[in-house]
């Protein structure tokens, strides 16, 4: 394994939420992706798209962060990396069998337009696997909320209902959803880590991930910090 792959593994998978978040979406997508074309929207260095390539997919990752993409090109299972705007995808209609998007839509000025593009390039019967910031209880901690949004350029937040409505308007049916960081304590932890620890804090807090997962299993699947969705194009 190359040093770049070790660093990418530590950055993406040794993390209090990303491993479980993206890992769940990939589990929903399936282990055998041979013959399928997968697009990761705002995929950064393409790490998660690279995991779909390892499962047999023809994987493409798009982003505007050139520095991340240059780094990602050195990964052992690098997907095709294309620098472009998620609101103007340079692909033909019905080009992909599946779309992955890990906590990206909340950063777009126009989330609806990004979904327009995802729906356009997705084949009929194809599926979207995505996550988004919800921050269900963030109003209880306004300073943490505002600091998180400013630090990570969060333009909008979504629930499974609001995203489900946007997807339905674009010809996609919600298949399932799951919230993470469901309890009040876990939500406050998420906001505190983002505000005071940032990326390093999220990585350092990785040992807490099993406790957060355990708390989620015991809480209703109706709110949290992050929502995961699977939807199918009609």
Q: How far apart are CA 125 and CA 56, in angstroms?
A: 19
DSSP state of 76: T
pLDDT at position 219 is 98
pLDDT at position 11 is 83
Q: In what order do the strands lie in the sheet with 80-83?
A: 80-83, 58-63, 37-41, 96-101, 122-133, 226-233, 172-180
List pLDDT tens digits, range 99-123.
Answer: 999 999 999 999 999 999 999 999 9
pLDDT at position 199 is 79
List pLDDT tens digits, range 45-77.
Answer: 999 999 999 999 999 999 999 999 998 999 989
The partner residues of 40 in beta bridges, in order of sequence, read: 61, 100
pLDDT band at 224 (very low <50, low <70, confident <90, very high): very high
List pLDDT tens digits, range 82-101.
Answer: 999 999 999 999 999 999 99
List pLDDT tens digits, range 125-173.
Answer: 999 999 999 999 999 999 999 999 999 999 999 999 999 999 999 999 9
Q: How far apart are CA 136 and CA 157, in angstroms?
A: 9
The partner residues of 226 in beta bridges, in order of sequence, read: 133, 180
Maximal C-alpha separation, the chain? 47
User: Which structural domains are found in the chain, ordered by start?
Assistant: 3-233 (3.40.50.150)
Residues 96 and 126: beta-carbon distance below 8 Å:
yes
pLDDT at position 1 is 63
pLDDT at position 7 is 78
């Amino acid at each position: 394994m190359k040093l770049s792959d070790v660093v990418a593994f530590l950055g993406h998978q040794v993390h209090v939420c990303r491993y479980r978040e993206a890992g769940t979406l990939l589990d929903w997508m399936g282990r055998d992706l041979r013959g399928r074309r997968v697009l990761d929207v705002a995929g950064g260095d393409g790490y998660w798209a690279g995991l779909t390539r390892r499962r047999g997919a023809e994987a493409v990752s798009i982003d505007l962060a050139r520095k991340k993409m240059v780094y990602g090109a050195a990964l052992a299972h690098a997907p095709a990396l294309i620098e472009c705007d998620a609101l103007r995808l340079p692909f033909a209609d019905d080009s992909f069998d599946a779309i992955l998007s890990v906590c990206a839509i909340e950063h777009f000025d126009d989330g609806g337009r990004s979904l327009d593009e995802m729906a356009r390039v997705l084949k009929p019967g194809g599926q979207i696997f995505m996550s988004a910031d919800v921050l269900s209880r963030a109003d209880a901690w306004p300073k943490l909320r505002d600091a998180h949004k400013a630090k990570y350029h969060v333009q909008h937040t979504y629930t499974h209902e609001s995203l489900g409505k946007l997807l339905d308007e674009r010809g996609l049916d919600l298949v399932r959803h799951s919230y993470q960081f469901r309890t009040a304590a876990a939500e406050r932890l998420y906001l505190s880590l983002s505000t005071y620890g940032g990326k390093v804090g999220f990585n350092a807090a990785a040992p807490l991930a099993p406790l957060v997962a355990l708390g989620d299993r015991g809480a209703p699947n109706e709110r949290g910090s992050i929502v995961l969705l699977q939807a199918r194009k009609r």
